[in-house]
Structure 1
């Protein structure tokens, strides 16, 4: 009996390789395009600012010469250093308070079973969606010395608002209304991405809730906390509406209001360019769109006070 070996089926020829797809932009071209966009968006706006800070006249005026006098005028102005110190203090208080509130709320609303977590989460995120000026006016209407809530507490109870909103701590308290929800949102996303089994394992080994939080949860939150703190501190250094409403009437100047004051007054000339703004000296022609100044700066009167703003904008 003979055995006929089975022949393997014939192999189908492999399809011919497809020609490489031709890219619209080569890798080098895309890199150059990204660099060009970055230079245009980031470096482009800085060019006129740096040029104005090193020139004796505005860029739109004729004449002028290179000079370092603008930097000398700025660094010898005591009001500038007062504004810098106030801004750093305001940003530090806002960042520290917002971290405490935001991280605590993130841990409580993601790692505990307190009732109404969804409702509380929604309420915490509402200030982010509201305009900052609306929140500032609301705080001023309620909690300034002549506000509705402060007046009611003073009249009907022995309690009172412990912090004056027309001060740097008071302004930091108002700013926390938006900064704390921002930190809460960043930390909440990190906690939701972390497996709770890590904390359960720590508790299985005998760690209590507080120790597992300190040894497991907080180290995992460290990158989110660091990024959130840097973001809040940077935004606090450039906020304008809050110190313009609450601080200017009490002669508290931050960097933003210092720049705004010199921009409206048009005195101080190229110091604005030195500090990151473009100013107009007295008596020089104004570019289109800039509001004329009456030689005075804005001031918002304190609530409940009959004293008008010490300065005005015409």
Structure 2
């Protein structure tokens, strides 16, 4: 059975975080050994090339006084050099238990407990390092931030009480070859409503918001009340507009439903009885880069 290397690294870190004075050496050595794995060797050489750990430690040693944890590590400004320096430092910590205890006490400890320095350097230095190092390795040695949009054929349908409109929309989406996600059709699994909603919305590529006249309301001073969508619909509309971007959200309005004030001027599609909305929705789905067979649309 193949085990993910970074899963093993994370396990070593968890063991180190929970270790006592008598047991911290073993997970620390295991962590150092895993970081020397053959699959990581090329990127390790790149990160540690031309770095001088001893000079780094000597300069950092000048920053503190006699108080516990008063020293500051003078990390390089370059993020790759910081990763490389941490790799070298973990090697030194694992090779010399006396150095590891003094190092934790000098730079990270907040009290006189010997093990507190090890635990603090684990939470403040090693855990962030492993997180960033794993991301760096998985990105093939690149740090440039990029907006990564996961392609998904899932379309989340936000709806109120109009079941006929919901079913008509869901069946149309499915006929295009896309997957319609309807919250009430998802298993509860003991989750709260908001947990169930967030989990179901995790990897969707598009959201269709059905604005149907389920409620009525007005300002406190208005004499006439207007048809409105349900509060959950308005909430989920805002959620998906922020999560996916407006280009991945389509408003379908049925009847004379009040548009939320923050969305005045946003284009919406009337859910007309002649089914012209289907053509407009298909165009929006295509513009959002969802992949489906256009022949299915004409057959719909």
TM-score range, shorter chain: under 0.3
> TM-score under structure 2 normalisation?
0.19
Q: Select the structure of larger CA radius of gyration.
A: 1
TM-score normalised by structure 1 residue count: 0.19
Q: Larger relative CO (CA 8 A, sep 6+): 1 or 2?
A: 1
